[in-house]
């Protein structure tokens, strides 16, 4: 009887976990970007990479520089104003 109880609890736990994962994956899906936004982000990334290379910023610092540069470029873009 103990073995049957363990199996039933394991199956119930597995079903609850699968149901929970199904709900969270659909709830946290990011919205689709428009083609114009996608192109703007790619252009910002390319220009910021070139700027980091010109300033000779190396790996660990370049990641933070790229993140901040792209964020500021997109935030200050004239299409958003």
DSSP symbols for 3-49: HHHHHHHHHHHHHHHHHHHHHHHHHTPPPPPPHHHHHHHHHHHHHHH
User: Which residues span the domain enclosing 15?
Assistant: 1-30
Say whether both 22 and 54 belong to one domain: no
Say whether both 50 and 26 belong to one domain: no
Verdict on whether the full-model pTM lies above 0.75: no
Say whether both 25 and 38 belong to one domain: no
Q: Tell me the angle at which helices 35-54 and 59-75 cross, rounded to the nearest 10 degrees.
A: 140
pLDDT in tens, the chain (81 residues): 678 888 888 888 888 777 666 665 555 667 787 888 888 888 888 999 898 889 998 888 888 989 899 888 888 877 654
Say whether both 69 and 55 belong to one domain: yes
Say whether both 78 and 40 belong to one domain: yes
Domain count of the fold of the chain: 2
């Amino acid at each position: 009887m103990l073995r049957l109880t363990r199996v039933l609890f394991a199956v119930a736990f597995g079903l609850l976990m699968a149901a929970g994962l199904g709900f969270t994956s659909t709830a946290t899906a990011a919205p689709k970007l428009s083609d114009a936004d996608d192109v703007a982000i790619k252009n910002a990334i390319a220009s910021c990479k070139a700027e980091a290379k010109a300033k000779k910023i190396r790996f660990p610092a370049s990641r933070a520089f790229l993140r901040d540069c792209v964020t500021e470029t997109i935030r200050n873009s004239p299409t958003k104003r």
